[in-house]
Structure 1
Amino acid sequence: MQSLQFPQYTFRFKNSENNVSIFDEIRKKFVILQPEEWVRQHCVQYLIQELNIPKSLINVEKELVINGLKKRYDIIVFYPNGTIFLIVECKAPKITINQTTFDQIAQYNMALNATYLMITNGLNHYYCEMDFKEKKYTFLEALPKLSY
């Protein structure tokens, strides 16, 4: 798999039926290794190892319903009180992050109300802080640490 703009992490892999799978520590199972999954697993490790977010506060690949349509978010990080600290949208490295990507995560956030947003294709990372009062977001250089 392609090198990404994350620190180096160690992963568990499994080969079966001509598919390579990677172990997801959050879902506690092997999932087929696709380019977007490679980015997602790096991002999960980044949250755990670099930002010191407990695994118990991270949720991966869950369904939500927006305007009657079923969608799936990539990663959510909760505050200990259960509100949402961060939504992460992961794309494959070959996918260019553009306005459509921001529109997608903004649509998810209308239902989820996260304080922070992160969009990554593994090569480029964008971070935003929401201002719900002004209905806008501000770009940040990095994500803040999760405060308890």
Structure 2
Amino acid sequence: MSNRAIPAVGVAVAAAAGYYLYQSGGDPKAAEKRLEADAAKLRSKASTTNTSEVQNKGSELQKNASVLASDARAEVERLANQAKSKGSEVDAKLEAYRADAAKKLEGAYAETSSKVNEAADKFDRNVQQGAKEAKGTLSSWFGGK
């Protein structure tokens, strides 16, 4: 081969590989199956005898079925990954709601606790004031100051 033919063949091979990868959605196994199916199709077209034509058609059908199966597998994997990502998004939102609710509950607890303590202190002051007044009144009856 000449020096120009080698890079040209390399570019053609790279272009074919890129084409098959693109057609199969980036899945190398599906690209390989698609390439095999196309090769079987070319073999069947090049065949001239009836017996080999029937065999090639069967082979071509097998390859096409294999391509369809690998495409279906790739689509199922894509959908499963999409479902997992949606599930993760829902989990993240639920966690954010839970954290927000926990903060609100803590705030409400702190506010309520503060009000209860304030009311208890006020009640204690009133009870102590009432006790002082009662003690003063009782002691004045019995001659105390």
Highest RCO, 1 vs 2 (Cα 8 Å, sep ≥ 6): 1
Shared fold, TM over 0.5:
no
TM-score of Structure 1 vs Structure 2, range by shorter chain? under 0.3
Q: TM-score, normalised by structure 1?
A: 0.23
Larger Rg: 2
Q: TM-score, normalised by structure 2?
A: 0.24
